[in-house]
Amino acid sequence: MTALNCALLTISDSRTIKEDTSGALLAELLTADGHHLADRNLVRDDVYQVRAVVSAWIADADVQVVVTTGGTGFTGRDSTPEALTPLFDKTIDGFGELFRQISFDEIGASTIQSRCVGGLANATLIFALPGSSNAVRTGWEKILRPQLNIETRPCNFVELIPRLLER
């Protein structure tokens, strides 16, 4: 197992960091799997606040992975995909597709309301999960845990990290 430095951002208008059960669960899951929690923050559902925090982490060479939770729905204030996708150098289309496929078995057609996205920016992997604890657990356990583990075969994101800045 190769430990990665992960930053965690919760996007919520209704929670404080003390009430952030999804963010706390994600922090617990990633550290239990041997990764380092490089930073953790909470911002309101605001495109520019989300971009500011994530942009700082993208610029930090010590942060290899950013995971967000919240703001992926369809309400007027849900804006995580709109905040993150302009930052991406490359989009990881399969992340959202796979999340919805796996989630369908858990919540049925309601998964269509999830707009989770993944991408790559300045050699930083970025994944946006929905705000519920169940969604966080699903995303981490079924997708991120194996892809952030060097032992996953036939391929994983960890083995690509040294090559992400190739030109």
Give the pLDDT score at 166.
Answer: 85
- pLDDT for 46-95, tens place per residue? 999 999 999 999 999 999 999 999 989 888 889 999 999 999 999 999 99
pLDDT > 90? residue 37: yes
Residue 1 banded pLDDT, cuts 50, 70, 90: low
Domain 5-160, CATH class in plain words = alpha beta
* Cα separation, 18 vs 20, whole angstroms: 6
* Cα separation, 83 vs 18, whole angstroms: 24
Give CA separation, 162 vs 5, 60, 85, 148, in Å: 14, 15, 23, 13
* Cα separation, 167 vs 165, whole angstroms: 6
Q: Which element (helix H / strand E) includes 119?
A: strand 118-121
- The DSSP letter of residue 62 is T
- Distance linking the first and last C-alpha atoms of the chain: 27
Per-domain residue ranges for the chain?
A: 5-160
Give the pLDDT score at 76.
Answer: 86
